[in-house]
Structure 1
Amino acid sequence: MNSNLLKQARGEIEADLVLKNGRVVDVFNERINKLDVAIADGIIIGIGSYKGQREIDLQEKILTPAFIDGHLHLESTMTNVKDFAQQVISLGTTTVVADPHEIANVIGLEGIRYLLDAGLALPWNFNLMLPSCVPPTKFDNSGAVLKAEDLEELITAEGVFGLGEVMDFTGVINGKKDMWEKLSLFDDSFIDGHAPELTAKELNAYLLGNIKADHECTTPQEALEKISKGMYVMIREGSVTRDLARLLPAVNEKNSNRFLFATDDRHPGDLIDEGHINFLIKKAVKQGMDPLQAIKLATINSAEALGLDNIGAIAPGYKADLVLIDDLKNFNINRVFKDGRLVARDGKFILDSVQKEQTSINKNSKIYNSVNIGKIEKSDFILPVGDKYRVLELSKDQIISRESTVSLTSQQLTSSKLVNENLVKLAAVERHKKTGNVGLGLLKGLGLQTGAIATSIAHDSHNIIVAGIDTEDMILAVKEIEKLQGGIVITNGGQVVDKLPLPIAGLMSDESLVEIAERLDSLKDTAFSLGVTHKEPFMTLSFMSLPVIPELKITDKGLFSVKDFQFVPLVIE
């Protein structure tokens, strides 16, 4: 230990920096104290009464630990890592736990290394999980396969934190060899969970994999059972899946330390208009949670759940990652400190502070050339003959799609009949290996009345998913995505009417967060003009191909029942 730091902590010499006249949040006792905070070498060396070589008057504003996002996917913001980081840091989030399984399912280790290098070049605590499920399942085609020995190449790399969300819960429960090889590899690290609606003895078996947390709870009952069995529950508030209001009734004085916040997937517009973890705190308070308890869920609870012992509190030995807010009602961000250095003021990132150079990407690399579609034909998008069909039915504010049925004769499968039934054709088109695979289904609840919408963001294998009324418009949208090498495309009447290129693995843009948000607003307006009723139509569509989320999904190989864990025919009779 540096003796100079000890002298500063004892108050024998002036501290390097002292934050004075602040109301300091004590997350351990859930109270606020008027204290000085002394900082040196990027850590808090004392709280109490101090003098500093440099002093900052906080003018009785509230000083909290900086916020932590326990689980997110950088790719879901659709922007580059630098712009995302600057946005969330300016909103008080200085620690993220990022799972790169989106880009890994497209281009494997190359994609992971890209995000890792970009993340480590920025002034935040960047923790990267190595994805556990590449491919996510055997029920669709992805662009890469990562086994335990592949992950082992990166396990000791700077910034690598643990094993990403374990979505293959059936593989864990049934002792699947390659899944357990990955679990064993990360036995001494944090292992994140993904177990929607898993309960009783199956949950018991799942937890033998040393899986620590879950962000897929959607009811208080589910959360309470998982907590009773030793898990931490991440209260997720993303752009599509908004679980916070549903889960808060599960939080009480006896179990509140087992809950933490996570965003999972948030779109650029929501990051700009609503915020990041600061938004979750504000929303929790509006829902009736005590403000200091909400701050705990965003700070010390997250740190303790994740096993990060030097962040999440304002106490000696902790990193000086701090947020200054005006009050406990509005939570307006006044200043953000990272390692004791000012990195944001009044919600704006200070560009010349601690910024490192980022590695440029070779435009000829696979990262920029990831869309490879095989031969597709009109017949691939025409519904088969039948009298009764299975339907994916959307659930409001959830990525769950329920299974229902519709009785329609082949003669009734007209555009007008689909519109009257609030149905669209839904297809998943393989885009990695030129297989020409097209899975076909029906989707209820999107509201689209004409044209087609396609996106190369289709969790988690990220094939192309397209919803439409007209077959020709669906094909045109898919081919335009291939031309762009990824993106979101809207077609109508045989024309491309709006689009957003996403050339980085077909998932992300190299434009700024603000520019992407503006483009997405335009795309949404176009979609709404065509009848779409969902607030987040593109993200909603992107989850319709995820065969680990109940109940019915679509992959490039066909319709998949998550409940029965097998493919099922579109035509019932």
Structure 2
Amino acid sequence: MLKKKLLKQARGIEKADKVFKNAIYVDVFNERLMESDIAVADGIIIGVGDYQAEEEIDLSGKIVIPGLIDAHLHLESSMTNVDHFARAVIPKGTTTIVADPHEIANVAGLTGIKYLLQAGKAQAWNFNLMLPSCVPASEFEHSGAELKAADLKTLIGEEGIFGLGEVMNYPAVINGESEIWSKIEMAAELFKDGHAPGLLGKDLNAYLLAGIAADHEATTAAEALEKISKGMYIMIREGSVTRDLVSLLPAVNSSNSSRFLFATDDRHPGDLIDEGQIDFAVRKAVQYGLSPLRAIKMATINAAEALGIKKLGAVAPGYRADLLVLDNLRNFEVEKVYKDGKLVAENGTLLKSIDDQISLTQDNFSSKEIEEKIFNSVKIGNISEKDFKLPPAKKYRVIELIKEQVVTGESFYQTESEYKTEPLSIELIGHNLVKLAVVERHYRTGNVGLGLLRNFGLRRGAVATSIGHDAHNIIVAGLAAKDMELAVREIEKMQGGLAIVVDGIVEETLALPVAGLMALKPVKEVASRLNKMRELANNLGVNRDGPFMTLSFMALTVIPKLKLTDSGLFDVNKFENVELVIE
């Protein structure tokens, strides 16, 4: 970012375009506060010192810090479109994001990636989109797409395409399997993101030969320290499902703090509204003993350097003028957000009209391919009520929910009587069981995987969602087969969403027409509807704060132990399908 034409402004011989007068800014390199004017021209900082400008903004001792960077997230987890997500997070100070679109890519392939890329580039932030490395996540279920290295390569060079998304299949990496290595080699010159929970020792050594730079899956200080010792950066993840900040902070010290940064991974609507985003991670880190200056450094320059983004993340000459104005570091409440020196948000509001930017509405995308793959992505085959009835048996295999974990266990259910049909609902309730089904929704196969789930708590009705990591087939939990089928039908009618059905009546829904993953409503409205649906689910007996979130992980075949896909029960440890009926 060479700017020869700005030399005279930088030297103070000519007036700058804009000067923030009387600022107290955070020097992230030395972790200290400095009092100075900040001069800006052509969207970059041209100097700190005593400056004059055509436009002068007196900050009267307010604190200025660089814009915050979220190093790894999935936009789809916000359950709203990109435009509304931007309206929620930019006013909170996030001016740079690195998004992995593997959720929408598992539904719509390259079309989904291009769709998010178009919408993301239209917002007032630095938008970086990763090429998902694992689509599909598993060969044991029906995903909406399969992306090989040759497919991903067609997007390299597109504005906004940044790197290779989290490499989750680390066994394939360390065993040298050709498919994943072809993607790694294809992205040789790009940033490569890691996903290697618990991977240590010689296997970690092998994994790092792939040039993977960072990991957001470390959950203990010991794991973080080993990975740092081998050259990795550690993204301290503070999401909605997985919150690792408190357990990882003890690993941060003066010698290694430059190797830590923040990421949200999955942040859901209610948490975005109630807590925030990267700003929340900074506040929480300070609450648990990290100095505010170090926390800001981790959220800015550390992230930029880990990601390899030059001239971003500092208040210094030549750096992008992405600046936040705060009243103090104690509360860390963002008052104003400047992107490239221009005011884009103030007092929690993004300063643009609803028509200023492209949003993820059907009207903005006239492509027949997008219409078919994004807005008509739910294609249910020939199913009926009988598909949601258990086969008669004496003993069944059961998925065992574990409190506050996405890891599941395996248990068994012995019936109290010999049934010629499925066990009675009242008996299932007595054993704290519900039926669980996964319905294929990409190719009209009519596949329905059926199982039993313990500890969900539901005593009436059915709860269903089209968010089902990572293939995103429809997942429904219930007791009456009729209610379960109706809930699936309702999701088909909405072209994706959440539904609660009780005694044959659709009680509550939330439409997610963007690939069955995202709404076309503001984050606050989505959060409000989710709260209402959660309360209803709890009234029906569900004992989980996030019933839909819980269900969404029941089909994820890369997390132990027992999961359910549209092809049936799957033992993750054995990596094979297993039978529902034992005897």
Q: Using a 3 Å threshold, how does the CA distance of structure 1 residues 375 and 317 change in structure 2: closer, same or farther?
A: same
Residue 401 of structure 1 corresponds to which residue in structure 2? 407
* Counterpart secondary structure, 1:466: strand
- Does residue 410 of structure 2 align to residue 392 of structure 1? no
- Does residue 565 of structure 2 align to residue 565 of structure 1? no
Superposed displacement of residue 447, structure 1: 2.5
Kindly report which structure 2 residues correspond to 1:90-239, keeping only aligned pairs within 5 A, or say none. Answer: 90-239=91-240
Aligned partner letter, 2:401: E
Q: What is the alpha-carbon distance in structure 2 between the residues aligned to residue 312 and residue 2 of structure 1?
A: 18
Equivalent pairs counted in the alignment come to: 571
Q: What is the alpha-carbon distance in structure 1 between the residues aligned to residue 288 and residue 414 of structure 2?
A: 44
Deviations 1:437-467 (A, max 9, x none): 2222333333222211110011111101111
* 253-262 vs 147-156, which moves further: 253-262
* Counterpart secondary structure, 1:260: strand
Q: What is the alpha-carbon distance in structure 1 between the residues aligned to residue 190 and residue 534 of structure 2?
A: 41
Aligned partner letter, 1:41: D
Q: Using a 3 Å threshold, how does the CA distance of structure 1 residues 417 and 203 change in structure 2: closer, same or farther?
A: farther
- Structure 2 stretches lacking a partner, 5+ long: none
* 528-537 vs 24-33, which moves further: 528-537
Q: What is the alpha-carbon distance in structure 2 between the residues aligned to residue 365 and residue 379 of structure 1?
A: 29
Which of 468, 476, 491 matches 1:466?
476
Superposed displacement of residue 353, structure 1: 11
Deviations 1:165-213 (A, max 9, x none): 1122222122221111110000110111122233333322222221112
Superposed displacement of residue 227, structure 1: 2.1
- Does residue 443 of structure 2 align to residue 442 of structure 1? no
Q: Using a 3 Å threshold, how does the CA distance of structure 1 residues 104 and 271 change in structure 2: closer, same or farther?
A: same
Superposed displacement of residue 572, structure 1: 5.0
User: 1:390·1:572 contact (CA, 8 Å) conserved in 2?
Assistant: no
* Counterpart secondary structure, 1:38: strand
Kindly report which structure 2 residues correspond to 1:68-79, keeping only aligned pairs within 5 A, or say none. Answer: 68-79=69-80
- Does residue 279 of structure 2 align to residue 278 of structure 1? yes
Q: Using a 3 Å threshold, how does the CA distance of structure 1 residues 226 and 425 change in structure 2: closer, same or farther?
A: farther
Residue 381 of structure 1 corresponds to which residue in structure 2? 388
* Counterpart secondary structure, 1:368: coil
Q: Using a 3 Å threshold, how does the CA distance of structure 1 residues 353 and 256 change in structure 2: closer, same or farther?
A: farther
Q: What is the alpha-carbon distance in structure 2 between the residues aligned to residue 113 and residue 452 of structure 1?
A: 35
* Counterpart secondary structure, 1:163: strand
User: 1:394·1:446 contact (CA, 8 Å) conserved in 2?
Assistant: no
Output the TM-score relative to the length of structure 2.
0.93
Q: What is the alpha-carbon distance in structure 2 between the residues aligned to residue 559 and residue 535 of structure 1?
A: 25
User: 2:501·2:508 contact (CA, 8 Å) conserved in 1?
Assistant: yes
Deviations 1:337-360 (A, max 9, x none): 000000011111111599445570
Residue 501 of structure 2 corresponds to which residue in structure 1? 491
Deviations 1:220-240 (A, max 9, x none): 233223222222221112222
Deviations 1:145-165 (A, max 9, x none): 111111111111010001111
Q: What is the alpha-carbon distance in structure 2 between the residues aligned to residue 203 and residue 550 of structure 1?
A: 20
Q: What is the alpha-carbon distance in structure 2 between the residues aligned to residue 203 and residue 566 of structure 1?
A: 25
Q: What is the alpha-carbon distance in structure 2 between the residues aligned to residue 30 and residue 138 of structure 1?
A: 48
* 53-62 vs 312-321, which moves further: 53-62
Q: What is the alpha-carbon distance in structure 1 between the residues aligned to residue 511 and residue 353 of structure 2?
A: 29
User: 1:466·1:474 contact (CA, 8 Å) conserved in 2?
Assistant: yes
Superposed displacement of residue 571, structure 1: 4.3
User: 1:91·1:333 contact (CA, 8 Å) conserved in 2?
Assistant: yes
User: 1:395·1:402 contact (CA, 8 Å) conserved in 2?
Assistant: no
* 26-35 vs 562-571, which moves further: 562-571
- Does residue 317 of structure 2 align to residue 316 of structure 1? yes
Residue 361 of structure 1 corresponds to which residue in structure 2? 365
Aligned partner letter, 1:49: D
Kindly report which structure 2 residues correspond to 1:2-151, keeping only aligned pairs within 5 A, or say none. Answer: 2-151=3-152
User: 1:72·1:96 contact (CA, 8 Å) conserved in 2?
Assistant: yes
* Counterpart secondary structure, 2:417: helix
* 203-212 vs 185-194, which moves further: 203-212
Q: What is the alpha-carbon distance in structure 2 between the residues aligned to residue 411 and residue 515 of structure 1?
A: 47
Q: What is the alpha-carbon distance in structure 1 between the residues aligned to residue 109 and residue 77 of structure 2?
A: 17
* Counterpart secondary structure, 2:70: strand
User: 1:214·1:232 contact (CA, 8 Å) conserved in 2?
Assistant: yes
User: 2:119·2:358 contact (CA, 8 Å) conserved in 1?
Assistant: no
User: 1:451·1:469 contact (CA, 8 Å) conserved in 2?
Assistant: yes
Aligned partner letter, 1:361: F
Superposed displacement of residue 67, structure 1: 0.3
* Counterpart secondary structure, 1:539: helix
Q: What is the alpha-carbon distance in structure 2 between the residues aligned to residue 55 and residue 210 of structure 1?
A: 46
Q: What is the alpha-carbon distance in structure 1 between the residues aligned to residue 451 and residue 546 of structure 2?
A: 21
Aligned partner letter, 1:173: I
Residue 417 of structure 2 corresponds to which residue in structure 1? 411
Residue 534 of structure 2 corresponds to which residue in structure 1? 524
* 155-164 vs 199-208, which moves further: 199-208
Output the TM-score relative to the length of structure 1.
0.95
Aligned partner letter, 2:397: Y
Kindly report which structure 2 residues correspond to 1:255-266, keeping only aligned pairs within 5 A, or say none. Answer: 255-266=256-267
* Counterpart secondary structure, 2:374: helix
Q: What is the alpha-carbon distance in structure 2 between the residues aligned to residue 179 and residue 251 of structure 1?
A: 32
Residue 246 of structure 1 corresponds to which residue in structure 2? 247
Superposed displacement of residue 379, structure 1: 4.0
* 306-315 vs 409-418, which moves further: 409-418
Superposed displacement of residue 254, structure 1: 2.3
Deviations 1:346-394 (A, max 9, x none): 1111115994455702384321111111222444333342435242323
Aligned partner letter, 1:429: V
Kindly report which structure 2 residues correspond to 1:280-319, keeping only aligned pairs within 5 A, or say none. Answer: 280-319=281-320
User: 2:136·2:471 contact (CA, 8 Å) conserved in 1?
Assistant: yes
Q: What is the alpha-carbon distance in structure 1 between the residues aligned to residue 578 and residue 303 of structure 2?
A: 40
* Counterpart secondary structure, 2:320: coil
Aligned partner letter, 1:495: I
Q: Using a 3 Å threshold, how does the CA distance of structure 1 residues 257 and 8 change in structure 2: closer, same or farther?
A: same
- Does residue 525 of structure 2 align to residue 515 of structure 1? yes
Q: What is the alpha-carbon distance in structure 2 between the residues aligned to residue 542 and residue 56 of structure 1?
A: 48
Q: Percent identity?
A: 58
User: 2:326·2:333 contact (CA, 8 Å) conserved in 1?
Assistant: yes
* 112-121 vs 554-563, which moves further: 554-563
* Counterpart secondary structure, 1:192: strand
